[in-house]
Amino acid sequence: MKRILLFAFGTSFLLIGLVVLFLAVGYFQEPKFHKETSEWLKAEPEDIWNYITDIKDLPNRRKEVVAVKILESKPDGTPTKWLETPDIGGYMIFELKEVIPNRRWKIELTDASFKMRGSWTYLLEPKIPGTLVTVIEDSEITSVPVRGAYVLAGRDATLLKEMELIRNRFSGR
């Protein structure tokens, strides 16, 4: 019986210690984050533009996005505000902030159940033959546990995954 109690207390202290460590990592991590990544792709700016701006297709190309609901659109049907439902639950509301067709596209995360905000800017620069694609993330996570999770997963994981998806779509051309 004494061994069982010692094991239970030891396991409890270990788990509590891991939780405290996890929260400390999130607490001491800078809430704001800025990073950019660029890659040259052998594809036309128009093709890349059509891919990155196709909001309705997000659930088909990003496994973590379960659904997209268009909240507002321009008269031509271009989404200007949409709600994404991630596979872990919750919600994320994005708004279109800047558009220069085939050159610059900026979206902003304006509300999320994860206490996150931020913007992602996509720059397309023709480089014959092909396009230099740059994705810039400026984000902020106010929740200590969410920040801790992002630090453990890689704070730039979303940015790098986005570039990987674009690269994979246009590789082999």
One DSSP character per residue, 77-146 reads S-EEEEEEEETTS--EEEEEEEEETTTEEEEEEEEETTSEEEEEEEEEEE-SSSEEEEEEEEEEE--HHH
153 vs 95: which has the higher pLDDT:
95
Report yes or no on 3 lying in a domain.
no
Residue-wise pLDDT for 102-149, tens only, equals 999 999 999 999 888 999 999 999 988 899 999 999 998 887 887 887
Is there a contact between 106 and 121 (Cβ–Cβ < 8 Å)? yes
Using pLDDT thresholds of 50, 70 and 90, give the confidence band for residue 48.
very high
What are the C-alpha distances in Å from 160 to residues 116, 123, 128, 131, 154? 18, 15, 24, 18, 10
Task: Please indicate, yes or no, if residue 58 is contained in any of the structural domains.
Answer: yes
CA distances from 81 to 71, 86, 95 (A): 5, 16, 4
Residue 118 lies in a domain: yes
What CATH number does residue 144 fall under?
3.30.530.20
Is 160 domain-assigned? yes
pLDDT at 123: 98
Backbone angles phi, psi at 52, to 5 degrees: -70, -25
Of 130, 84, 126, give the one whose Cα is nearest residue 107.
84
Residue 108 resides in a domain: yes
- Prior bond to 101 cis, omega within 30? no
Whether 8 is covered by a domain: the verdict is no
Q: What is the pLDDT of residue 4?
A: 80
User: How big is the chain by its Cα radius of gyration, in Å?
Assistant: 20
pLDDT at 51: 96
Tell me: pLDDT of 69 over 80: yes
- Residue 3's pLDDT is 80
In a domain, 14, yes or no: no
Number of domains in the chain: 1
Q: Is residue 129 part of a domain?
A: yes
Which domain, by its residues, includes 103? Answer: 31-170
Q: What is the dihedral of CA 101, 106, 108, 114, to 10 degrees?
A: 110
